[in-house]
């Protein structure tokens, strides 16, 4: 419903610049990308849309980032409507909360965290942009980009100043903008549960296992991704080559963070080496944390997969993180989610390769970006045929709600098994 309403509003004449009215497919694609906080675009947001159209995109990003169940609950609370037990269970699942108690205060805290972080980001970006543009425009740019980046939306308005699809290229050597944007992406990508846990550390003096795994895995992926990007791209004359070493380090860190769902860039992803582009595909596929504004299979799932490999190599029966053993159900769920995601990405990329005259790596990149709601692009999306755009819309939708969630929705309620079959053995390896 949100996507349909957004598509209708974006297709109206007041939403686009004169002579640039969107057709239905492009309006639907943009609304899907915004509501699923992806950032893939068929038109440049800064030049193609009027202020009205840009605000529609921003509202869709905000709703998608907070989560549909969270926004619906806030509306219900505003009208003093009672939240039923069934709705509380849905909220518990959508927020990845471990218990049904305390959900309403958590919802209000999620809203407070979001508005506070977005306001702080807007003020910081406004202070920097005010040096380059009029104060009114700087304030508008600060608010728009703070909301878009924190919610991992990936939409930007700099096409209006530096040319269509230019992104943050002009700020590649600006450490202030780099740090603010990376911090916004990081806070949006670790999830509201982790933020609440960190804020409550002074009182509780402990962090949950989930928070420890998310922070550890996010840190490892960021550092490893940045180091590999720096090694590959350091001598590329079209990306990091012309920069000094400090700017190269910032750019490598920036894209390592942004690739896991941020969707903004300071150097041309198109001009990167193919090995770097494939690394970005892997980072996008892993994605952010559960209960966050990001997508992908999630860093906790990737941690479980690595834990399973380590346990098997050491001859252990259990996966243990921080002296806590993981239940078998979590391991099976992680493996299932990974396989469903791989099947979705690979099958759609193959379908696109049959429909489009584009290299498979480029199509795999766009498909993974759509699934992981990452928003990075190799400039393929605007050139796709209508049927390919519809396929990517479906991938963005599935990536946001999660393929495992969809599988649950179409599966009948599980029943207790009344018998166990005899154990059989299959030769492995």
- The more confidently predicted of residues 82 and 306 is 306
Percent with pLDDT over 70 in the chain: 88
Burial (CB count within 10 angstroms: exposed 0-12, middle 13-18, buried 19+), residue 114: buried
Cβ–Cβ < 8 Å for 404, 337: yes
What pLDDT score does 200 carry? 83
Give, rounded to a whole angstrom, the gap between the first and last alpha carbons of the chain.
Answer: 48
Instruction: Assign 95 a pLDDT band (cuts: 50, 70, 90).
Output: low
Compute the chain's Rg from CA coordinates.
Answer: 22
What pLDDT score does 196 carry? 83
Residues near 349 by beta carbon (within 8 Å), at least 6 away in sequence: 360, 363, 364, 367, 368
- Angle, CA 349 vertex, CA 348 and CA 351 arms, to 5°: 60
What pLDDT score does 201 carry? 81
Question: Global pTM?
Answer: 0.89
What pLDDT score does 166 carry? 82
As a whole number, the mean pLDDT across the chain is 87
Cβ–Cβ < 8 Å for 53, 81: no
| pLDDT beyond 90 at 390 | yes
| pLDDT beyond 70 at 199 | yes
pLDDT in tens, 278-323: 999 999 999 988 878 788 899 999 999 999 999 988 888 889 898 8
Percent with pLDDT over 90 in the chain: 51
pLDDT in tens, 137-159: 999 999 999 999 998 888 999 98
Pairing of strands 324-325, 320-321: antiparallel
Collapse the DSSP code of 98 into the 3-class scheme (helix H, G, I; strand E, B; otherwise coil) and give the result: coil
| pLDDT beyond 70 at 362 | yes
Angstrom distance (rounded) from CA 162 to CA 132: 12
How many distinct helices (H) and strands (E) make up the chain?
20, 2
Task: Tell which residue, 229, 111, 243, 221, has the closest CA to residue 169.
Answer: 243
What pLDDT score does 173 carry? 85
Cβ–Cβ < 8 Å for 122, 129: no
């Amino acid at each position: 419903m949100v996507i349909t309403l957004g598509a209708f509003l974006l297709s109206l004449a007041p939403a686009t610049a004169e002579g640039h009215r969107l057709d239905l497919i492009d309006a639907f694609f943009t609304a899907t990308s915004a509501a699923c906080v992806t950032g893939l675009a068929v038109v440049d947001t800064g030049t193609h849309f009027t202020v009205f159209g840009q605000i529609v995109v921003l509202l869709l990003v905000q709703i998608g980032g907070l989560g549909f169940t969270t926004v619906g609950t806030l509306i219900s609370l505003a009208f003093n409507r009672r939240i039923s037990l069934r709705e509380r269970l849905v909220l518990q699942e959508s927020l990845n909360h471990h218990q049904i108690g305390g959900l309403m205060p958590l919802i209000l805290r999620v809203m407070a965290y979001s508005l506070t972080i977005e306001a702080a980001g807007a003020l910081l970006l406004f202070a920097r942009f005010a040096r380059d543009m009029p104060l009114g425009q700087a304030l508008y740019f600060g608010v728009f980009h703070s909301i878009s980046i924190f919610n991992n939306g990936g939409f930007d308005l700099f096409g209006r100043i530096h040319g269509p699809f230019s992104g943050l290229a002009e700020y590649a050597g600006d450490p202030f903008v780099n740090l603010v944007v990376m911090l916004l992406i990081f806070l949006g990508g670790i999830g509201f549960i982790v933020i609440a846990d960190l804020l409550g550390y002074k009182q509780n003096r402990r962090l949950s296992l989930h928070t420890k795994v998310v922070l550890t895995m996010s840190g490892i992926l960021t550092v490893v991704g940045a180091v590999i990007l720096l090694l590959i791209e350091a001598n590329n004359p079209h990306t990091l080559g012309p920069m000094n070493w400090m700017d190269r380090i910032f750019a490598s860190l920036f894209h390592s963070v942004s690739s896991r769902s941020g969707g903004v860039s300071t150097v041309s992803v198109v001009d990167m080496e193919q090995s770097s582009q494939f690394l970005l595909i892997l980072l996008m596929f892993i994605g952010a944390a559960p209960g966050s504004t990001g997508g992908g299979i999630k860093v906790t799932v990737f941690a479980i997969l690595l834990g399973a490999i380590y346990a098997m190599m050491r001859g252990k029966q259990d996966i243990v993180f921080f002296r806590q053993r993981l239940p078998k159900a979590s391991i099976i769920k992680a493996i299932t989610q990974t396989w469903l995601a791989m099947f979705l990405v690979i099958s759609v990329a193959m379908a696109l390769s049959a429909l489009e005259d584009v290299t498979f790596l480029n199509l795999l990149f766009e498909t993974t970006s759509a699934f992981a709601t990452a928003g990075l692009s190799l400039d393929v999306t605007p050139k796709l045929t209508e049927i390919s755009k519809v396929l990517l819309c479906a991938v963005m939708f599935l990536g946001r709600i999660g393929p495992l969630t969809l599988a649950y929705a179409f599966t009948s309620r599980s029943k207790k098994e009344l018998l166990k079959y005899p154990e059989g053995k299959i030769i492995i390896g």
